[in-house]
């Protein structure tokens, strides 16, 4: 199925990338063959295997955190759409969360192997009782809410965009309802439309809001991340 590996260039982290070619007579559709070849030759995929991360997505959070300093030891973190666990791994390591004293909690309806220091609630975040169960597991208000959620693709770009934007909006509502004052929110979004209302909502509730695109996010992808920093806090009941 695969052809010979050829010497490649050094990728991120100094990992030597070996180029693998998938033979055209492999039995795969041409589009699937190209995707698999690109995936196997992705330097972040190869580096994730070398570094022990569950997915290349771990480097997106690493690169964002290296620049914006979101994760600190002792912080409480909620990771929405946690599977396969790359973001949980990074968050647990950087906040020094342990199995004995976990302060990183994830949620996903997909099954996944346990991440030391980051218990994961296996249920759909859109379920009515999911937010309360997350807070109960965490044991307090989070300092940071992360969301790398994306809706299952249908193949229709506009539909996929709208469905993922809905998840981003629900994640933002959740973050605003649970974050500590001064906390942060980071969520996957996509370029193009349907987000002006969301941006307005975030700007009303956070002191800094902007888009970020880490190097690990493929250049040709429409994927972006919304970063909202320094939550202003919720109004007291008698102020509402």
pTM beyond 0.75, yes or no? yes
Residue indicated by tokens 């972040």:
44
Q: Tell me which of 145 and 44 has the higher pLDDT.
A: 145
* 85 annotated as a binding-site residue: yes
**Out of 6, 72, 96, 188, which one is annotated catalytic?**
188
Element (H, E) at 59: helix 58-68
Mean pLDDT of 114-130: 95
pLDDT reading at 226 higher than 60: yes
The pLDDT of residue 54: 75
Do 197 and 179 touch, CB atoms closer than 8 A? no
Residue 188 annotated as catalytic: yes
Handedness of CA 55, 80, 186, 104 (dihedral sign): negative
Q: What is the mean pLDDT of residues 51-77?
A: 92
Q: Are the C-beta atoms of 215 and 184 separated by less than 8 Å?
A: no
pLDDT of residue 229: 98
Query: What residues have CB less than 8 Å from 18, skipping those under 6 apart?
Result: 5, 6, 7, 8, 41, 46
Establish whether 148 is an annotated binding residue: yes
Using CA atoms, how far residue 238 sits from 57, 91, 182, 207, 234, in Å, is 42, 36, 21, 23, 11
What pLDDT does 1 receive? Answer: 44
Instruction: Quote the tokens at residue 113.
Output: 């192997």
CB atoms within 10 A of CB 209: 19
Band (36; pLDDT cuts 50, 70, 90): very low
CATH of 58-239, one of 3.40.50.300, 1.10.10.10, 3.30.70.20, 3.40.50.150: 3.40.50.150
User: Domain residues of the chain, as ranges?
Assistant: 2-51, 58-239
């Amino acid at each position: 199925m695969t052809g010979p590996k050829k010497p490649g260039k050094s990728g991120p982290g100094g990992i030597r990338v070996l180029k693998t070619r998938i033979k055209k007579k492999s039995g795969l559709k041409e589009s699937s063959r190209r995707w698999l070849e690109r995936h196997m030759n992705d330097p972040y995929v190869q580096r994730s295997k070398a570094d022990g991360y569950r997915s290349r997505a771990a480097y997106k959070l690493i690169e964002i955190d290296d620049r914006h300093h979101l994760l600190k030891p002792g912080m409480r973190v909620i990771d929405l759409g946690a599977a396969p666990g790359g973001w949980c791994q990074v968050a647990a390591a950087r906040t020094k969360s342990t199995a004995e004293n976990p302060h990183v909690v994830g949620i996903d309806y997909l099954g996944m192997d346990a991440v030391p220091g980051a218990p994961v609630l296996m249920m759909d975040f859109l379920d009515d009782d999911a937010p309360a169960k997350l807070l109960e597991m965490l044991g307090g208000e989070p300092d940071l809410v992360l969301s790398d959620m994306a809706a299952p693709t249908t193949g229709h770009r506009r539909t996929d965009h709208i469905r993922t934007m809905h998840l981003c909006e629900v994640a933002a509502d959740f973050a605003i309802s649970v974050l500590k004052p001064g906390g942060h929110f980071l969520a996957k979004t996509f370029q193009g439309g349907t987000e002006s209302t969301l941006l307005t909502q975030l700007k009303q509730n956070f002191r800094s809001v902007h888009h970020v695109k880490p190097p690990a996010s493929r250049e040709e992808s429409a994927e972006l991340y919304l970063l909202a920093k320094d939550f202003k806090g919720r109004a007291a009941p008698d102020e509402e």
